[in-house]
Structure 1
Amino acid sequence: MAPNNKSLVLVTGATGHLGFRTLVLALQAGYRARVVYRSESSLAKVKGAASIKPFIDDLEYAHVPDMTVDGAFDKAVKGVDFFLHIASPIFDTSEAGGEVRDWQKEFYHPALQGTVVALASALKEPNIKRVVITSSVVAVEAKNGASLAGPNDVKPLPDKETLTNFTVPAHAYVYSKVMAHRAVDDWIKEHPKAHFDVVRVLPGYIQGANELAQNTKEAAVGSNEGTFNVALGNLLSGPKPTAQIYLDDIAETHVVALDKQKVDGGKALISVANDGKGWVWDDFVPVVERLFPDEVKNGILKPHKGQEGGEVAFDVYETVKVLGHDFAGIETMVRSVVEQYLRLKGNEGTA
């Protein structure tokens, strides 16, 4: 058998929404991939996905039961050329909080330690050329009266008491991302002679069909809840994240970030649609009505205005430049998420 000369990428988070789509696009771009997984059941979903079938021969697997322990990735990084670290704890935006939660255990430690451990393991593999780390736009904010938040405008951390006593999961999630982002900054400063460089990708609120979802409940978990809430008329109290980005656009951003000829080391790339502004969720309602008139008429879909949403804006110039195209709009997001919902709902109705 002829040797496989494709570059090998280690991918964490490949059993999740963003990570899986990034894995698929990396394979399509000509990389081999080594998938990090924690459970056999989650790995089975990846192996069984239609998009993976043409690339089975380009896949390897690495079992890492706990990504926060020292040396967790030491074996997984052996022989890899690039490291895509996408895995990080997420939250359910429908959670209202109320009960006492251990944010250190639930968000802060996994996000912070998982990132530091990944970089430490990468140092032990001399073949690695670049580590790409997934951050989030929630880690940055506009500074000094600027109209746009840039990729390096990291939010300050509140005091320890505030961090410990949040009552809303989303707030703890935000600062877990801030901690991890700052930890990477510190690591880069402490390792000026590292044999690899680091690029960070900062996604907005990701919308797009999750191929690994096997029912409507799984499809609505995570950020796709935004489009689901609009299409099904679920008016939730309080503002919800906007700054939307189409799944394929942010997955492509990760893959392009591997290319040292297109993206310089040390860069941070923000991905938010509509020139970095996103949309208020009410803007999604007429799109649902126009794309799915029959389903709206018969009550399967119940789009309804009234969902609150903050308006923020981000500097996406560098990302659009390296991608070579603008980000997809509302119609693409709605079509992707709602068509999958209708297909899954139809399957559940005939089961």
Structure 2
Amino acid sequence: MPIVSLQGVTKTYPPTARDSAPVIAVDDVSLDIAQGDVFGIIGYSGAGKSTLVRLINALEPTTSGRLIVDGVDLTTLTERELRRVRSGIGMIFQQFNLFSAKTVRANIAYPLTLAGWAKADIEARVTELLAFVGLSDKAKAFPEQLSGGQKQRVGIARALATRPAILLADEATSALDPQTTHEVLELLARVNREQGVTIVVITHEMDVIQTLATKVAVMEGGRVVEQGEVFEVFSNPRNPASQRFVGTVIKGIPSPAEQASLGARHEGRLVTFSFRDGDSSQAQVFLDLAEAGLAFELVYGGINDIRGRAFGHLTLAIRGADAAIDAALRKIREHATVTEIGSDAPAGTARAEGEVR
């Protein structure tokens, strides 16, 4: 069974004005999160992703549908029963939400005190977590004395204090610089790998999903418009919202405007070669072009890697006789996806075979 299962979940808020309609924040969402996954939920502001995480955390009741967490249907529980469920779910936030008047040690100990742990057990657990997040030397420091990355490490340690099965990360790296973001993502990967905690990552940052998540759901207008393995969604996004997100980190086939700009700046025929895990490598394409005696330069695109699986698009400006280019492209099409673009392509040859968008 999945550790989290949403089945037709909807969350509606009352109208904000007398003559307005109810606000549908989450609209008929169904998805399963397997135990041990790092599941990313991505969407632009207003997509409904933060509301969704509040439903999973039992901070908001669903309007309709079923929401099952660790085998328990949250929609059937009383508030007292929901409090017990929340103790098995850790939460980290964009703005850290630390107690400024408490030391690092006291911040991490706080949920354990609320849970009624014995003092000796609290001390042992806090010491263990400080070592795990690399802050043993900061136990007596206050939040104002910490960097942003250190504050988030404290937040992660506090979220893990009661040994939750699920960790929810709501825009947990949005306030951090790129280097610190990388360090926090590495720590979250360790939490998942070494402690077996299922992590749900709520974000608008594609790099976070690409680096950390194993599966992803794309939200728009309160609905999940696409979901699946991160590699599958990134390498071949089907929904326009997914394509827009992927386009922020991956350059695909140039748009008409980009084609015009590239054509004005580079001589030759513009051809995009698309690669996906298992396809022929870009090195083989370059070799085929060189063996045909053609000159070429890379003018657009790039290759990306997700856990050892490569995909991407490379647009080349190829110079040479049209007949030689046509012959080389026919050969390359036998082992790679080719999209010929641009105004320099001879009549009847511009095409997209097996195009990946």
- TM-score normalized with structure 2 length: 0.26
Q: Which structure is higher in helix share? A: 1
Q: Which structure is higher in strand share? A: 2
- TM-score normalized with structure 1 length: 0.27
Which one has a bigger Cα radius of gyration?
Answer: 2
